[in-house]
Amino acid sequence: MKILLVEDNKEISDNIKKILEIQNSDFNITQKFDWEDAIKSFLLNEFDLILLDLMLPKIDWITLCKRIRLNSSIPIIMMTAKWDDDDKILWLESGADDYIVKPFKIRELQARIRSITKRLHINEKINIWECEVDFTNKKVLKNWKEISLKLKELQVLEYIYNKKSVSKTDLIEYLWWSDSLFVDWNKIDVYIYSIRKKMGKNIIKTIKGYGYSII
């Protein structure tokens, strides 16, 4: 199970990583100490769960949580020293799946991870043209044969599918966020071409002068 641990306190982060990996041999934890590195790692890698510190400096945590949720339905557990009923409602409305209040026992964190892990296996497969797509497990079947899509290609497909129609600007900002001003727009055309080649030319329609759609 690949976990992204976002905690700016290195001592706390090291302790969580050490104990979780010792007690759970199937855990593979990537540590990030600021939101920029966390987002870059999230976009470039495949994770099963995010442990997110509420009090990260230099960013509104609500913005970060919503940004992650725009990209993925990956489970998010908030770690926080704050607590009241209003906070709980705000966390959940912002896209968090669960929360744990500091200081916490590792056994409690393990229990919450186990609870969410069970839900990882409950996913919905969708049909797009001749293909069966499982975004949760990142698998695509065409005529019962698995097709290999790169992570960015899956992200493009999922985003357009969820939004039904998107502009090219939306896709650039969605995929690269803070680096979107420096990205070559032709990369989107390359991803779209590759998806069509693998899944079928009619899978994604071009909206002239705007962007793309899946209907």
pLDDT digits (tens, 9 = 90+) for 51-63: 998 877 777 667 7
pLDDT at position 182: 61
**Spans of the chain, pLDDT less than 50:** 122, 178
Do both 82 and 171 map to the same domain?
no
Residue that is last in its domain, among 91, 120, 149: 120
pLDDT at position 60: 67
Do both 66 and 151 map to the same domain?
no
| Domain assignment present for 163 | yes
| Domain assignment present for 88 | yes
Number of compact structural domains in the chain: 2
pLDDT at position 193: 95
pLDDT at position 181: 56
Q: How far is CA 87 from the centre of its chain?
A: 23
Q: What is the DSSP string of 131-194?
A: EEEETTTTEEEETTEEE---HHHHHHHHHHHHHSEEEHHHHHHHHHGGGGGGS-THHHHHHHHH
Domain that holds residue 40: 2-120
**Lookup result for tokens 């976990």:** 3
| Domain assignment present for 25 | yes
Hey, what amino acid is at 61?
A: W
pLDDT at position 4: 95
Do both 164 and 107 map to the same domain?
no
Contact 120, 155 (CB under 8 A): no
Angle of helix 61-71 versus helix 35-44 axis, rounded to 10: 0
The residues with which 207 forms a beta bridge, in sequence order, are: 211
Q: What is the pLDDT of residues 3-46, one digit of tens each?
A: 999 999 999 999 999 999 888 877 899 999 988 888 889 888 88
Q: Where are the beta strands (DSSP E) in 11-70?
A: 28-32, 49-53
Do both 111 and 190 map to the same domain?
no
Do both 159 and 116 map to the same domain?
no
pLDDT at position 190: 92
Of the candidates 56, 82, 59, the one whose C-alpha atom is nearest the C-alpha of residue 4 is: 56
Residue that is last in its domain, among 120, 147, 166: 120
Residue that is last in its domain, among 66, 95, 120: 120
| Domain assignment present for 148 | yes
| Domain assignment present for 129 | no
| Domain assignment present for 74 | yes
